[in-house]
Structure 1
Amino acid sequence: MPQYAVSAPPWLRHALTAQAGPVPWDAVLRGALACGPLLLAAVLADRPGAGVFAALGAMLAGVNDRPGSRRAAVTRLGAPALAGGLGLLLGTETAQQAPHAWQLSAVFVLCGLIGGTLSAVGPVASACGTQFLVTTAVGAGMPLPEPAGERALLFVAGAGLLLVLRIALPGRAARSGGPRRFDGERAAVAAVYDAVAALLEAVGTPAASTRRAALTAALDHAQDALSGPRLRRTASTAAERRVHAQYAAALPLAEAATALAWSRHAPLPGAAVGPRRLATAVRAAAPAGPLPAPSRGDAALCALDDALLHAADTFDKGTAQALHARRPAPSAVLRKAIGPAGREYGVRVAVCYGTATAVAQALDHTHWYWLPATAVFLVKPDLGPLASRVLCRALGTVVGAALFAGLAALLPQPAGLVAVAGACGALIPVAARHFAAQTAAVTALVLALAMLGGEPQMAWVRCGETLLACAVVLVVGHVPWPHESGGVTARLTAARAAIHVYVHHVLAEHDGRADRWTLRREAYRTLAEARAAIDRAAAELPPLARRTAGAERTAAALERLADATTACAVHLDDSGHIPAPQAAATCHEAQLLGLAGEFRPLPRPATTGSAAKEPLPARSSSRA
């Protein structure tokens, strides 16, 4: 009998897939030390309401507590906390000044528009918009005696405690004997060198494209880790300048590895040894030591050898100039917020947020604020495809409510509720691997906070509110919209524009490797964002997934054009001209994307080696 393979649909596979990786024990410890002690202190002081708002701030900060550098965490945790405090202040004052349901719904529509457009700017802005809308609903509906200003201060203080723990507690590298300062930055930069090594190991194999995407993700993470706030405009210490220079030294290595993956069809034995040693040296904050020299057989191999020489010089002397990513201008941020993706996202969030508020007000029950707060998480496409969000939210809420109902019946109060909240706060970083698990942990924690605030046990009411919020988002937020959601078109347009600038810089005889590497980073980063949006849209239900049909082919063509341009840049550095096959490939990809005629990669006069542009540093004594 013939065998037929049974495969689950994409939307179901996405809902059942969890992220892999080591357990973030540091984040678990911070979550346990933030939520539980805050609630315990408030209960002992006979101010449980104050503990509720402080623990709420710590909980939402724990949701954003992801791996990275300490300084990057200041923005990643601090900015959403301030937005959440503003939401609590606004929501509490609005509930007092707008007694009619239609007035409250109108204010929430306006807030949803602001929070939605803000969420289109980037990940941190998205977290700010989410916390602003969630806390606006909580401030307007939670029946606790604390005034608006005190609520906001308590919320920010709770998030601030977790941020202080994030900065003060030593990380895994420090506990294992490594230097504590800039351990997050060094780990991110070391991951870049490991990703370069992995790509070199995959040259000539089908895994090369996947490894190139992983290298882009590692570079994006390192760029974010190094972009945290500082007291001065320039790097303030030698150690900081060194780690920035080590990141800059990884850019030509990434370029050479990408060119090799694009142009070669045979493996390169031993090519990954040098980058692996550099990754080890970054983690230990030590010199690189001897590095094996690859053969200089063609332009890409010459570029790899030159990049290793440059890295060896940087690691041993630490004198290379640090390269910093350009920060987006305020005008660029504003254009992104009010652009097509921001407008579509803002209107969608506003309609769902306002409708959920109106429905909840019509039902007229104590926990009406749960409905709009839940709708905020469900309407956000950056949290995953709609079908996956709805399924995981419903399942996680039921599981979390059932567990809490059993624990609330068995454990003594209020000590048992404090213990449940502390345990859930510690579980949130681990549960973040899957939306259903995270929902279960958050549901149990929120129900514990509600009971500590003096409300009865309402676990099954919470389940009903979640299912109703799912229906509101499905009916109002997605079904009637004629176009695709998730910003796929806007992100593809941004990627096309960034690659346009990158290709023009390479092929129009612009000198300056630092500028080229910066433009290359922006091109590949926008491509990664577009690819992530396309993958989310492809995992939607079939009626929604069909709206982005063809986007995958466009993204693949953009990636091929970016890779071909990188190979062209490497050959231009080596010989001053582009070989005919690469020129033809570049023009072919540009023609497929409607860019033909804009770029004419004409051969340049031949030059001696890499002297066509400013040379990388000379050979270092640390090379074997």
Structure 2
Amino acid sequence: MHVPARISSAVPPWLAHTLRAQRGPVPWSAVVRGALAAGPLLLAAVLWGRPSAGVVAALGAMLAGINDRRGSRRSAVQRLGVPAVAGACGLLLGSYAQEYAASADGQTGAVALIAGLAGLGLVAGAVSAVGPVASAVGTQLLVGAAVGAGMHLPEPGWQRALCYLAGAGWLIALRLLLPSPGAPGAAGSFRFDGERTAVADVYAAIADLLDAAGGPDALARRAALTGALDHAQDALSGPRLRARPSSSAERRLHAQYLAALPLAEAATALAWAGRTLSAQASEGPRRLAAAVRSGDAPGPLPAPARYDAGLRALDDALLHAAEAFDGGTGHLPRSKSRLLPAARRALGPGGREYGVRVALCLGASAAVAQALHHVHWYWLPATAVFLVKPDLGPLVSRVLCRALGTVLGAALFAACAALLPSPYGLVALVALSGALIPVATRHFAAQTAVVTVLVLGLVMVAGEPQAAWSRIGETLLACAIVLIVGHLPLPGHGGSGVRTRLAAAMRAADAYLGHVLSGSDDRAARWALRRAAYRALAQARAASEVSAAELPTLARHTAGAGEVAAMLELIVDTATACAVHLDDTGRVPEQHARHLAALCADLAELTRRKELAEPRSWITTA
């Protein structure tokens, strides 16, 4: 994320976040998939004489396209497919709810429909607190339910669900079958280009961290290395038919990823020491990154000077990596079942709080929409579903971006609808919008504008009247409802999601630090615990940054969470330096021990003062 310094210092955090936009290269492969997804499906349905079926299929492709981010093909199956199944289930439930409401007494049916959506929102909201994929599951479940309950289509519910799955499945098929532009053919099957890119990015991030050691950018580079490791771990752990890698190319990628873990540990220890390193220190990891991308051998790796424990660890890790690149194989350890931790997170304070807010938003928006007797009443609850998602940014930022994006998108669509022939001009507009979604996801207002154009085009192709201006009014109503519900005081502590993330980060740091100080020589276990600690810390820091950018009435509940997360990261960095010295000398240097004890004491005082979490035993006794 990037925002000019003069802007961020001149405006409050909640407004500065609204002005931020992600930066980076255009994801051309995702743009191509977006152009080939919703538009062609809609065109085929129009030519077949079943435009309503094409609308549902295009909707499934559009929502899958919003989740179509960088990563490996197999991880995309889970990231796109599981939410799509949930969306089809929601569409089926909503369709049958529509039939029940139509057959029952008018007021009774409406009340039952509102209660059903609110109850579904309670469950889906709690599930959404588990993680990114679960959040997409909850979103598509509720959007599907709202559309199924409110959009009048000639197809029965089961056919709507199948059309929705077909649309999402078509995008997943494109994701699996189309090669990425510029993917190196010499490195093996293009099926693994996402994995190769992710592993290469890890080695490049290690080199960047070594270059930044001793400078002001060291902490940011270490955070970037954590993100690269998280991404590579996800890319390599996607679903497969066998428990272990089934091809030599895949086994080699796993070995190269595992070889990066001791390099990352050594680089973190060197950056923690705060000494500037020679350019030769980063040359080896850069050659390894180029070798992963090309599939060629890295050649001789320059050895760094071995005058302290960190550089000796770096040299040993480079030798280990050279062996892995010279035909080594490996596989990631089997992950433990995540069902129990996921259930605990969904049923914990964060899941309960978010579930209640989603239920209130969905129920209130459905009730207001029913009272207005609008033909597109389902837009209100569907809009509320997106607005209530905390992973899209702070609440006030989401509301402002949604309102602005809807106004821009509706105005643009109204102009296009007056000029383009129906239905083929609208089909072309839908295809163009689908291609723009991967770029527009960099800012919520831009994404909203593109999705608004696409949805309004689908509505007109389905045979309903042009509804650009009513879309603006209903979006503003949804914004008001979500703002009110989002600021309602609920029983217990506010900011439960942030507190849950901080507690998880403390547990992970506890496990890692305990393993390091125990003197265990099981390095594989240590690297796995270190990965878990940094991953949990990154999630806690991201949650605290979002919370800090809320309006003061909400931000006060988690004031200081960012300080706690930053201090935990310093503790884990120090523990990493201790681990490197233990490997080298068999003991922890006295200055490291004193520094670690001081950090733990400061953290204990900070957690007591901020009342954000119960201090762990290792903090209070350090």
| Structure 2 unaligned residues grouped into runs of 5+ | 1-5, 605-614
How far did 1:329 drift?
A: 2.8
Partner SS state of residue 294, structure 1: coil
Q: For residue 593 of structure 1, report the CA deviation from its aligned partner.
A: 3.0
The one-letter code of the counterpart of 1:406 is A
State the 1:600 CA deviation: 11
Counterparts of 1:368-407 in structure 2, within 5 Å, are 368-407=377-416
Distance 2:456 2:574 in 1: 54
Q: CA deviation at 1:596?
A: 8.2
Shift of 1:176: 7.0
Aligned to 2:77: 74
Query: Which residue of the partner structure matches residue 163 of structure 2?
Result: 154
Checking the alignment, whether the CA contact within 8 Å between 1:571 and 1:578 is kept in structure 2 is yes
CA distance, structure 1, for counterparts of residue 595 and residue 399 of structure 2? 43
Instruction: Give yes or no for contact 1:323–1:514 (8 Å, CA) kept in 2.
Output: no
Classify the secondary structure of the residue corresponding to 2:140: helix
4+ aligned runs moved over 6 Å, structure 1: 599-602
| Superposed counterparts of 1:160-559, under 5 Å | 160-174=169-183, 179=188, 180-319=190-329, 321-324=330-333, 326-481=335-490, 483-485=493-495, 487-559=497-569
- Matching of residues 101-112 of structure 1 within 5 Å: 101-112=110-121
Paired with 2:534 and 2:186, the residues of 1 have a C-alpha distance of 35
Cα offset, 1:305, TM superposition: 0.6
Deviates more, 1:264-273 or 1:47-56: 264-273
Question: What is the count of residue pairs matched by the alignment?
Answer: 598
Report the Cα offset of residue 339 of structure 1: 1.2
User: If the length of structure 2 is used for normalisation, what is the TM-score?
Assistant: 0.93
Report the Cα distance in structure 1 between the residues aligned to 2:472 and 2:618, rounded to whole angstroms: 56
Aligned mates of 2:80, 2:25 — CA distance in 1: 22
Counterpart AA for 2:618: E
CA gap 1:177/1:400 in 2 versus in 1, 3 angstroms: farther
Shift of 1:542: 2.3
**Within the alignment, does 1:97 sit opposite 2:100 as a pair?**
yes
Conserved? CA contact 1:185–1:226, under 8 Å: yes
CA deviation vs aligned residue, 1:548-590 (integer Å, no higher than 9, x gap):
2111211111011100100111111111000001011112222
- Conserved? CA contact 1:578–1:601, under 8 Å: no
Q: Indicate the residue corresponding to 2:608 in structure 1.
A: none
**Would you say 1:84 and 2:87 are equivalent positions?**
yes
Question: In the aligned structure 1, how far is the partner of 2:557 from the partner of 2:600?
Answer: 25
Q: Counterpart of 1:608?
A: none
CA change 1:183–1:432 in 2 (3 A) is same
Task: Name the residue aligned to 2:618.
Answer: 598
Find out whether 1:53 has 2:53 as its counterpart. no
Task: Give CA deviations for 1:156-207 in whole Å, capped at 9, x if unaligned.
Answer: 0000001000000011243776541311001000000000000000000111
2:387–2:398 contact (8 Å) kept in structure 1: yes
Q: Deviations over 1:111-152 (max 9, x none)?
A: 101111111111111111100001100000001111100000
Helix, strand or coil for the counterpart of 1:272?
A: helix
Q: CA deviation at 1:36?
A: 1.1
For residues 600 and 379 of structure 1, do their structure 2 counterparts lie closer, same or farther at Cα, with a shift above 3 Å needed?
Answer: closer
Deviation at 1:302, TM superposition (A): 0.8
Higher helix content, 1 or 2: 2
Structure 1 residue 601, shift from structure 2 partner: 11
Structure 2: distance between partners of 1:175 and 1:451: 43
The answer to whether the Cα contact below 8 Å between 1:242 and 1:318 also exists between their aligned partners in 2 is: yes
**Aligned counterparts of 1:393 and 1:548: Cα–Cα separation in 2:** 25
Bigger shift: 506-515 or 142-151?
506-515
Give CA-to-partner distance per residue, 1:390-414, whole Å, 9 cap, x none.
Answer: 0100000000000000000011111
Range that drifts further, 260-269 or 131-140? 260-269
Distance 2:470 2:99 in 1: 25
Cα distance in 2 between the residues matched to 1:116 and 1:413:
38
Q: How far apart, CA to CA, are the structure 1 residues paired with 2:96 and 2:142? A: 14
> How far apart in 2 are the matches of 1:162 and 1:378?
25
Once the two structures are TM-superposed, the CA of residue 453 in structure 1 deviates from its matched residue by: 0.8
For residues 190-242 of structure 1, the C-alpha deviation after alignment (integer angstroms, 9 at most, x for no partner) is 00000000000000011100000000000000011011100000110111110
Q: 1:268 offset after TM fit, Å?
A: 3.4
Q: Over aligned residues, Cα RMSD in angstroms?
A: 1.8
Give CA deviations for 1:72-115 in whole Å, capped at 9, x if unaligned. 11001111110100000011111212442111111111110111
Structure-2 separation of matches of 1:227 and 1:597: 33
